[in-house]
Structure 1
């Protein structure tokens, strides 16, 4: 019996030993690092810091919908330790920093530095490979090891952010260089991932400039809002300023500046304080320069925007007054842009990003004046005034204007009842056909401003849903040339979607000749008249004499 139990125990021992050996072999098989792997770089555009999302795992992610970026070069280097450098490079998560120095990488923390040789690898697209239209750049058959990946923006001129409406997007924050293992431990930590996927996303400032209304009268105020993304690495920016050179038809309104941080819904989260978190420089225009507004964020301002949670963009807004300082025909569109200047780790020498042009316009009413019969011998021009309504037109209540200090251009258009209307200048158009009896510009008596056309008028209003209400005006002929009749009724002029891109509405106006009346008389008629009077007088005297004789 004892022998039987001994045999059983021996058999169990053999089974346990075999199982243990198999388990050890299985464990060694699973944990043994493969000798090769591949690296796929997926290049995407990140509109905001939120688009950066969480840290990658090295595994493929098919949920990303950001636009791909084509034409970005990455330089991938195999790291080889030199001297006492550890086989596994110290991690940046532990406070180590990476500095590329020629063909070496210095990994430093405090006074301790390790050196690694850099061995440049070719991608499947060859040397100096760039991301394709789907944003991918693939490296296959890489020797197992650690790789330093660096985005080379200087060699990526002509890159393209894919997708409709993305052609003008500009990378302003490059991806920080990083180290990845190929192959690497998988997400579960139980096996090896031989096909490593990384998702470096670029951010851009995506600068924008908008006006709060599309069309105005000369003299109206327009609020401009200039905004830009607050990138994920904004705390590392060492310089950030905005310059806006104003169009000659815009004048900055003092004390109207505001600098804020916005959330993804463009709601204000924080406001910066002038003098501590930003500086304002306003330079009036001179004969050779434009009026200029410069907003410079201080270190405190940059830190405040970078630290505030939920901020996706920053915005600078201010007011301007629109004037009528146009010097050429059909010059009715105010076309203005602004420029951000910045410096960061990606652009240590500094760079700029310019907003798309923002537009606001005024309208112009030109008068195409003709005369019945094609008479070219008129000795003075017709004169027109303009009213904002039919009632004003029939009641002789016309728009008036205020000029700049040099009496050269309009700074304000006033309707009846507006403050300053009574003292404002009469606004009279002299159509170009024929001879002007008055010179264009300020009249000699200082009461009238003569023009060839009515410029600086609002063409339409727009509500929050961008529905347009087109403006109508009424032309009234207040003086007609000799031998021609005044127009009997005002002429209604309505700006609409068919108005030319130059925002000019040309109204055709023809004056009719007066009818020929009988001559008021020459000398021959006068003689006949005298003879008639004498004959009548003689008859009266004859009748009176006969009456006397009868008596």
Structure 2
């Protein structure tokens, strides 16, 4: 750089220096102005009653506890104030400020703190921590003012909040939490701090477990294994103090358990899973068909009794009965919101099933809470509970949704392509390229799974699919009869099936005795469950339509004691509409009728076919016409018959002789 240029640069910087310093000073002043630092803060606890049971121990998405300090009580994310009935007379203890080591000792890997750990921490309060106590007023609030703040580390002012007493009318205390005073909300590179923190805490009514059922898919071929999953949900955090926890599932007579008695091949591992499906605990099962074995006398070391047997219920064939032992119930601890117990099992469709007739499956959950808070009396199919005149009637077991499976068939006819006459003796194999994995069995009855997207072949007995195989050599041919007809039965529907729905309502009333008198007038229980068919649904049906329909049923005369329980499939099933394609079926002709040319291309087909109309109730009707499979004759000789053959041979000999003479003359 030349001296003149350097001189000009220095002069320019000197002239600009006051402006630069002014800007920097202004930035520092602005930053100091935005960073509000105070020596004390306050914590106001809002104690509310949550009418819907939720697992205590976590703060859910709608339970943000960091208020913005305004009178409206908005949460930290700017949403509306937390709803709920204020609770007075609830005692709280606030302890702080916690060190990193103390926080780590209190919280588990998920950031949760148990009541016992929190109370022990308070009873043996470490030196240097402050303890404040207070009780909520009529508006459900209690405020702890003048909490000291470490101004050098604003994000390190943590207080343990523990609910130490509650009204007798409340069954569940809120779980302990740790909150920082002040709370901070990042804004670009600066922070705004709120020193008046609002903590919204809900009490929970004592929860009762619920039962749900899922099926792997609603349409199966008869060669598929049908997989069911029962789930016990809404687990109360005091589940480990329950007396009983049992599930009973009677199987439709068209469903059979796998393997020999007691059918262990059908029964999966009982697990406790978190909301995301992660296995938290596995339970040891004792499987038997001995009706004398109960949860009480199951051999030690087992968590769950699983018993199979025959049922006396009409239309039912076998049952599965799960009963947690005392050891198993004792392991149902450290529960978190969304945890559920999973009971998987699988069956096969048997020879009693018919095409296009849905096979329903449902079950029920029985439980008995700790003494003084009895739940549903558990159902034991071998030892049903029969209350005496003075014994309480606990009501029916909680029902699962009904889930259905269904399969269909397809008819074909083999004909002459020109005359349309029926052709006998054509042989075909049935193929599928499924969009989902197929769970089936091999020739020895062992469980196998065939991957999605790959061609598989049907093994058929008496016209019905009995299993699927990836080995084309194992495929069973089907043959056209004298009338040209043949049928393939036991095929899953080509598309996903959507059944029409029904609603389950719980009818509430007092706890009664065996003779119908009131046993506990203050206790309301479900006395029965009522099923009401829903209106047909289409792709235009909205959630608001469904809610309005449910509310109209509840508002009907005589339904004042009804409570909506859950939605289910109809039984027997009616189909509202079909969904996405999940199968790609085809016939491959492996042998043509005598005198005919085999088909070069596969014959694609669907089950059950296309919608052709609707019935009187507006539900679709699906037609299943037979598919015509024509063949062309093998091309014949130009001249046929005995004399024609002789003439043809003589002409050939004459031509050969003439050619010989011409060649000989040419050579000479």
Normalised TM-score (structure 1): 0.45
> Looking at CA atoms only, which structure, 1 or 2, has the larger radius of gyration?
1
